Structure 1
Amino acid sequence: MSSTPVLRNAALLISIFPIALGSLALFNPHYMLVKMFEYPLPPALADQKVTLNQMRSFGIRDIFVGAACLGAWYRGDDMMLGFLVLMGAGLAVGDGFAQRSAVGRGQWTKHWVFVPVLGGVGLGLMGGV
Structure 2
Amino acid sequence: MAAIFSLMLWQTGASQLIRPGSALNLWRFPSPPESSGPDDTTAATTTTQQDLVHGLIRREAVRNLALGLVGLATWYRSDRKLLGCVMLCGCSTAFSDGLISRAAIGGEELRHWAFLPFILGTAAGLFGWPG
Taking the aligned partners of 1:11 and 1:47, their CA distance within structure 2 comes to 37
Give the secondary-structure state (helix, strand or coil) at the position aligned to 2:115: helix
Displacement of 1:13 in angstroms is: 0.6
Question: Taking every aligned residue pair, what percent have the same amino acid on both sides?
Answer: 31
**TM-score normalised according to structure 1 size:** 0.87
Aligned to 2:14: 23
Taking the aligned partners of 2:124 and 2:49, their CA distance within structure 1 comes to 41
Amino acid at match of 2:104: A
Deviations 1:51-95 (A, max 9, x none): 101101111100100100001100010001011011101111000
Taking the aligned partners of 1:52 and 1:127, their CA distance within structure 2 comes to 40
Q: Answer with 1 or 2: which has the greater Rg.
A: 2
Taking the aligned partners of 1:80 and 1:47, their CA distance within structure 2 comes to 40
Q: What runs of 5+ residues in structure 1 fail to find an aligned partner?
A: 1-9
Larger helix percent: 1
Q: What runs of 5+ residues in structure 2 fail to find an aligned partner?
A: 34-45
**1:24, 1:32 within 8 Å by CA — same for their partners in 2?**
yes
Taking the aligned partners of 1:117 and 1:100, their CA distance within structure 2 comes to 21
> Aligned-residue CA RMSD in angstroms?
1.3
Taking the aligned partners of 2:88 and 2:129, their CA distance within structure 1 comes to 12
User: Aligned pairs, how many?
Assistant: 118
Taking the aligned partners of 1:117 and 1:13, their CA distance within structure 2 comes to 11
